[in-house]
Structure formats: structure tokens, C-alpha cells
Amino acid sequence: MKIISETKGIERLAEIRAGFSRDIHDDFEHKAKPCAECETPGDCCLDAHFVNVRISRLEAAAIRQALDQLSPEKKYAVFERVENAIDRFDLTSTHDSAAKTYACPLFENGIGCLIHDTAKPLPCIAHACYEKKEDLPPDELLAGRENEIDDLNKRVYGRSAPLLPLPVAIRR
């Protein structure tokens, strides 16, 4: 297996995300309520009983790269929310936190997801307000792309990267 740079890995990750986003948009999103019509924008991202997104080392690197494009003040506020989420929801890098939920520190009221266009994790891309369970994207679609990302992590870092709660993974 040929090792590639983290920069190349993030570029390839963007391609995987874009393909997954197209699949969701073309095949499933039309069956969901549009976010623009939501009566409570951001509740799905800020619901500490709901959010359980786990990401890999490469995904965390892509998110940190996206956050580096923010103003220093906004970036500081995001990392304050990261630390608060880790403390408040008792998130750790160990397996005992696998079922723990948290409010996403990357969502900002009035703006939305700060990394929506550049580094949004696959589970977040797949999420929408579907009224019928049969309209949801199949788990296999997400799992297949997550396997691609795991393979990419191996090419970048030389090994598989464990999935960590998003706040733990992006903590500096």
C-alpha cells in the first residue's frame, strides 16, 4: 500500500464526501423535509440526546483545516464549545463513550454548520427529516463510504484510525 500525504488524503476525502452528497441528494433528499422549512433550525445538531457523530483522524484533520479559515475569534469560540462538549457530556477517546451523545460544537445559531460546504462528516450529510423510515438512505450506503474513508486513513497514516466523538477528534 502506497502512503500518501495528509493533504492528498484530505483532497480524496473531499471527493468521497462530494460523491456521497450527490447520492444522498439525488436518491433520498427529495423525500425529506427541506432544512429551510424547519420550524426549529439547528435543533437536530444541538440536541444533546441525538448527536452521536464519530469521525476518523483524517476527517478531523479536514475539519481543523476548514476551521483554520475562520476568523481567530470565531475559531476560538468553536474550540471553547469543543472543550465544553467534552467536559459537559463526559466524552473521552475510549470505547465507553461510543454511545454518548452531545451537542455539536460546529453549529452556530444564525449561521448553521460552520463546515457545511468544506468538511461536513458523512453522517451529517445523510441526515434529514424523513417522515417514513423506508425513505431513509440505507445504512449500507454510509457504511460503504465509511469503509472508503477507513482505507484512506490507512493510506495516509499507515493504519486504520478509530472513530472518535467529533469533539474529541477535533480537539487540539
117-139 per-position pLDDT tens digit: 999 999 999 998 888 999 999 99
Residue 162: partners with Cβ closer than 8 Å, 6 or more residues away: 56, 93
pTM comes to: 0.92
The whole-angstrom separation of Cα 23 and Cα 2 is 28
What is the Cα Rg of the chain in Å?
Answer: 16
Q: Which residues lie across from 129 on neighbouring strands? A: 33
The whole-angstrom separation of Cα 16 and Cα 25 is 14
Check residue 99 and report its DSSP letter. T
Decide if 149 contacts 130 (C-beta within 8 A): no
Residue 74: partners with Cβ closer than 8 Å, 6 or more residues away: 108, 114
Q: Confidence class of residue 1 from pLDDT cuts 50, 70 and 90?
A: confident
Q: Which residues lie across from 112 on neighbouring strands? A: 108
Residue-wise pLDDT for 24-33, tens only, equals: 999 999 999 8
Decide if 54 contacts 165 (C-beta within 8 A): yes
